[in-house]
Chains A and B, each alone.
Chain A
Amino acid sequence: MLWLLFFLVTAIRADLCQPDAENAFKVRLSIRTALGDKAYAWDTNEEYLFKAMVAFSMRKVPNRETTEISHVLLCNVTQRVSFWFVVTDPSRNHTLPAVEVQSAIRMNRNRINNAFFLNDQTLEFLRIPSTLAPPTDPSVPIWIIIFGVIFCIVLVATMLLILSGIQQHRRKNKGPSEMEDIEDKCENVITIENGIPCDPLDMKGGHINDAFVTEDERLTPL
């Protein structure tokens, strides 16, 4: 009698966890893709951990704090590694609604991934979409800052060049008018030494200035 009951229970439980059963989810792991040489083998201990993580996630849902590891059923484990799982209620006759399981897994996805050293792509829950990390948008887009810096530099350089060009123009305009006045005064090359124009000296022509000793007499002839 007891054996019959036992078989009945296992049969019912087996019925609860079937591929494509109601409220059942398929899980797929790509351990070798994720870890390469450090890949671990998938055995019953890992399955136990998985059941524990699912039970942990369900316990966080209000009204489901009494979920036990034995309430999580796994079946159809393949070489891939992939399997199906369901979560039953305490009576073990019904499976919990898919929506509850979905939201529980989504909330704790990160913890589950980390327990197995995997990520959203290598530990897939089919039919449970993962929440993607929001991009960090700074308050001021970075490109505007860099644009502003370069724009200011170029603007300042342009202004400097324009202003120096204007100054050069002004100097050129003053230059020719100044030159004209002096040209009216003297036509020849004027050499000025110590403030005294040398012109008068040139006009002397032939007179020796005794103040200067000629070089020949200074040096004793060889």
Chain B
Amino acid sequence: MRLEIKKRARGRGVGPGAMEKTRPLWATPLQFVFACISYAVGLGNVWRFPYLCQMHGGGSFLVPYVVMLVVEGMPLLYLELAVGQRTRQGSIGAWRAVSPYLSGVGVASVVVSFFLCTYYNVINAWAFWYLFHSFQDPLPWSVCPLNGNRTGYIEECEKASSTQYFWYRKTLNISPSIQESGAVQWEPALCLVLAWLVVYLCILRGTESTGKVVYFTALLPYCVLIIYLVRGLTLHGATNGLVYMFTPKMEQLANPKAWINAATQIFFSLGLGFGSLIAFASYNEPSNNCQKHAIIVSIINSSTSIFASIVTFSIYGFKATFNYESCLNKVILLLTNSFDLEDGFLTANNLEQVKDYLASAYPSKYSEVFPQIKNCSLESELETAVQGTGLAFIVYTEAIKNMKVSQLWSVLYFFMLLLLGIGSMLGNTAAILTPLTDSKVISSYLPKEAISGLVCLANCAIGMLFTMEAGSYWFDIFNDYAATLSLLLIVLVETVAVCYLYGLSRFESDLKAMTGHALNWYWKAMWGGVSPLLIISLFIFYLSDYIITGTLQYQAWDAAQGQLVTKDYPPHALAVIGLLVASSTMCIPLVALGTLITRRLRRGDPAPVA
């Protein structure tokens, strides 16, 4: 039996402590692609894109969407991946390598990612809440709870609907306005703790654990979407929704808002500027073909959006048809009872003729009843376009409760939401953790697990703010303002820095040396000219929009009326909004200034610096 004990001669003059730690790598390039897909394909694909599609003329929205994908999405995605792969550092280190004055861009990315992590995981907490409540018969959001003396239902639930009541009262326990913050609700707080524990479990070991988790978070949502597609297309009334969505309204192409929304959607859907893509790419082999991966990821992301909107619209169609038929049945019942017609005589087909007959035969009685007769319209049901948490937790649950075996569909749906949410959280946390673990100062004191744990703990503690009674209003503030303007600025500075500060030709030769492929002229044209111009125009548009609208408003839930009302933000909320935007955007100039000052001081100092 041969025993070979080989000992390689290590630099004898160097002790074991100075041994260079190799950067952890993805086990296969497939893990990297799955990580990017899992990060980019998130909740926005499911609840924002279908809404935009509906608002801007269905099939015709695809035209600006694809144009923006090719002109803006792919080039910027490739740029970020290339920077990360080249510098092999997190966002702060990467931009410091591009130019020492630019590490502020990395810091701004980390700050924005921190805000994003804090509020994004609350959605996962809500998804957990709904998932746990899906194991009951009947589903708790399908019936209104009874009032005190059991003669009817609770008033708030009667005025709104059972799904809205469950969301606003049972899940959020929402207060009437943002000023009344109320207490921390222990149920969503528990779910938030669980959500952060799950995220911690996934990122604990860095790329080793993340690389395995992304197989699930990238692939399983597609399985659920396919199952839902089959179920959705076979639902009664699904075709109504699909026809409505895909009928192109060509006049929308002339609407500038359609193009702006397409650009914004591509931009935020790919998750540019957060630093997550740079972090993921930094764990790549230097010879990895990130151009191919950038194209693949962006195409898959957009296709998933379109696929998800097919599913969403078949469900919309089902829900709209169901509501339309219920409305018709209510009118039929009203007329049958008022005029004592034979039961079953009035149907949807002869409704109009009978109405005319009754109006002529019994004019006085008809005019009494007339105000109560609702005009049921399938179009108006389809037009109730909703986005965001309202779509996911109110509209979808309303559709699910009317399906057969609704518990199964509910569990599947919220499981998919969780997978999408956690997949995106992996990227968000990577954006924060990679710069921290790259920093020699911090990583020498604390192991990777402890840093991750501390970040998760801090985010969880701050996230408790969103579990208070007014938490949903603060969530909307973070969702609307924490990332939008800052990201546009960050990506603009990134593009300009790489093209003009670092030098496009220098970057091109770096990429060629690294991957072996020459840079196509198309990327150069996009990076140098088109994409920055596009971002500048988006930026100007948003700024002018904020300035023109004047006071910012929000939707508050009025329990007495059972619907949303618009209110103005109080001054302290406006201050928070300003702080959110300023804290990330100001990092760029401040750090640049700080670097300038320290360099000047060092130059004044005669001691040479290596």
Which residues from chain A sit less than 8 Å from chain B, CB to CB? Answer: 28-33, 39, 78-82, 129-132, 134-135, 142-144, 146-147, 150-151, 154-155, 157-158, 161-162, 165, 169, 176-177, 179-180, 182-183, 186-187, 189-194
Task: Report chain A residues within 8 Å CB of B145.
Answer: 135
Closest-CB distance, A67 to chain B (whole angstroms) = 26
Interface bits B137-169 vs A (CB < 8 Å: 1, else 0): 000000101100011100000000000000000
Chain B residues in 8 Å Cβ range of A81 = 343
Minimal beta-carbon separation of B418 from chain A (angstroms): 11
Cβ-defined contact, A154 with B194, below 8 A: yes
Q: Compute how far the CA of A190 lies from the CA of B2 in the bound complex, rounded to whole angstroms.
A: 11
Known A79-B340, A191-B4: A151·B146 in contact at CB below 8 Å: no
User: A192 touching B5 by the CB < 8 A rule?
Assistant: yes
Within the complex, what minimum Cβ distance (angstroms) separates A199 from chain B? 13
Q: How large is the interface on B (under 10, 10 to 19, 20 to 34, 35 or more residues)?
A: 35 or more
Q: Do B152 and A129 touch across chains, with their CB atoms under 8 A apart?
A: yes
Q: Which of A80, A146, A176, A193 contacts B336 (CB 8 A)?
A: A80
Give Cα A144 to B449, complex, Å: 29
B135 touches A78 (CB 8 A): no
CB distance from B406 to the nearest CB of A (A): 15
Q: Do the beta carbons of B191 and A157 come within 8 Å of each other?
A: no
- The reply on B348 being an interface residue by CB < 8 A is no
Is there a chain A Cβ closer than 8 Å to B601's Cβ?
Answer: no
Give me the interface of B with A, judged by CB distance under 8 Å: 1-7, 9-10, 12, 16, 19, 128-129, 132-133, 135-136, 143, 145-146, 150-152, 190-191, 194, 197-198, 200-201, 204-205, 209, 336-337, 340-344, 447, 449
Given contacts A30-B343, A134-B146, contact A158 B5 (CB under 8 A): no
Alpha-carbon separation in the docked complex, A81 to B151 (Å): 25
A154:B2 contact, CB within 8 angstroms? no
Alpha-carbon distance A179/B15, docked complex (angstroms): 11
Cβ of A198 to closest chain B Cβ, rounded Å = 9
- The 9 A-B residue pairs whose C-beta atoms are closest, nearest first, are A176-B16, A32-B344, A143-B132, A78-B340, A80-B340, A79-B342, A146-B132, A129-B151, A32-B343
Cβ distance A129 to chain B, nearest Cβ, rounded Å = 5
B5 near A176 with CB under 8 A, answer: no
Given the contacts A80-B340, A177-B16, A143 and B7 also touching, CB distance less than 8 Å:
no
Q: Which residues of B contact A180 (CB under 8 A)?
A: 16
Is B342 touching A80 in the complex (CB atoms < 8 A)?
Answer: yes
Chain B residues closer than 8 Å to A31, beta-carbon distance = 343
| Chain B residue nearest in CB terms to A32 | B344
Q: How far is the CA of A180 from the CA of B10 in the complex (A)?
A: 10
Q: Kindly state the separation between the CA atoms of A129 and B145 in the bound complex, as whole angstroms.
A: 17
Name, among B205, B336, B340, B344, the residue most crowded by chain A CB atoms within 10 Å (CB to CB): B340
- 19 residue pairs bridging A and B, Cβ less than 8 Å apart: A29-B343, A32-B343, A33-B343, A129-B151, A130-B151, A131-B151, A132-B152, A142-B132, A142-B133, A143-B129, A143-B132, A143-B135, A146-B135, A177-B16, A179-B16, A182-B7, A186-B7, A189-B6, A192-B2
Point out the residues of chain B lying under 8 angstroms from A33, CB to CB.
343-344
| A-side contacts of B344, CB under 8 Å | 32-33, 39
Beyond A78-B340, A192-B3, whether A176 also contacts B19 by CB under 8 A is: yes
Q: Are A28 and B132 in contact (CB under 8 A)?
A: no
Given A31-B343, A158-B201, answer yes or no on A132-B449 (Cβ-Cβ < 8 Å).
Answer: no
Besides A147-B132, A194-B1, 9 new A-B residue pairs in contact (Cβ under 8 A), listed by A number: A131-B150, A132-B152, A143-B132, A144-B132, A147-B190, A158-B201, A161-B205, A165-B205, A186-B7
Would A79 and B341 count as touching, CB distance under 8 A? Answer: yes
Flag if B205 contacts A154 (CB, 8 Å): no
Q: What is the bound-complex CA distance between A180 and B14, given in angstroms?
A: 11
**Selected contact of A191 from candidates B2, B151, B343, CB within 8 Å:** B2
B339 closest partner in A (C-beta):
A80
Query: How far, in angstroms, from A28 to B341 measured CA to CA in the complex?
Result: 11
Report the bound CA distance from A39 to B345 in whole Å: 14
In the complex, the chain B residue whose C-beta lies closest to that of A192 is B3
- The interface residues of chain A lying within 8 Å CB-to-CB of B19 are 176
The residue in chain B whose Cβ has the minimal distance to the Cβ of A147 is B132
Report the Cα distance A191→B6, complex, angstroms: 9
* CA A5 to CA B249, docked complex, whole Å: 79
From residue A210, how far is it (CB to closest CB) to chain B in Å?
Answer: 23
Q: Give the chain B neighbours of A182 by CB distance below 8 A.
A: 7
Q: How far is the CA of A168 from the CA of B200 in the complex (A)?
A: 19
Q: Are B132 and A132 in contact (CB under 8 A)?
A: no
* Of the residues B133, B152, B205, B343, contact of A143 by C-beta under 8 Å: B133
User: Which residues in A have their C-beta under 8 angstroms from that of B132?
Assistant: 142-144, 146-147
For the complex, what is the distance from the CA of A146 to the CA of B128, rounded to whole Å?
Answer: 10
Q: How far is the CB of A82 from chain B (nearest CB, A)?
A: 6
What residues of B have a CB within 8 angstroms of the CB of A150 in the complex?
194
Give Cα A40 to B145, complex, Å: 34
Contact among A82, A131, A165 with B449 in the assembled complex (CB-CB below 8 Å): A165
Q: Which of B132, B146, B198 has the most CB of A within 10 A?
A: B132
With A and B bound together, what is the CA distance between A162 and B197 in angstroms?
13
State whether B7 touches A154 (Cβ < 8 A): no
- Min Cβ gap A171→B in Å is 14
Task: Report the bound CA distance from A147 to B337 in whole Å.
Answer: 48
- Which residues does chain A contribute within 8 Å of B129, judged by CB atoms? 143
Bound form: Cα–Cα A35–B9 in Å:
90
A83 to B439, CA, bound (A): 84
Neighbouring A residues of B209 by C-beta, 8 Å: 161
Docked-complex contact A82 and B201, CB < 8 angstroms: no
Q: Which residues of A contact B5 (CB under 8 A)?
A: 190, 192
Question: How far, in angstroms, from A50 to B236 measured CA to CA in the complex?
Answer: 39
Most buried by B among A130, A143, A151: A143
| Residues of B contacting A143 in the complex (Cβ-Cβ under 8 angstroms) | 129, 132-133, 135-136
A162 touches B152 (CB 8 A): no
Give every chain B residue within 8 A of A162 (Cβ-Cβ).
204, 449
List chain A residues, Cβ under 8 A from B197: 151, 154-155, 158
Interface pair A154/B340, CB less than 8 Å apart: no
Residues of A contacting B9 in the complex (Cβ-Cβ under 8 angstroms): 183, 187
Minimal beta-carbon separation of B157 from chain A (angstroms) = 13
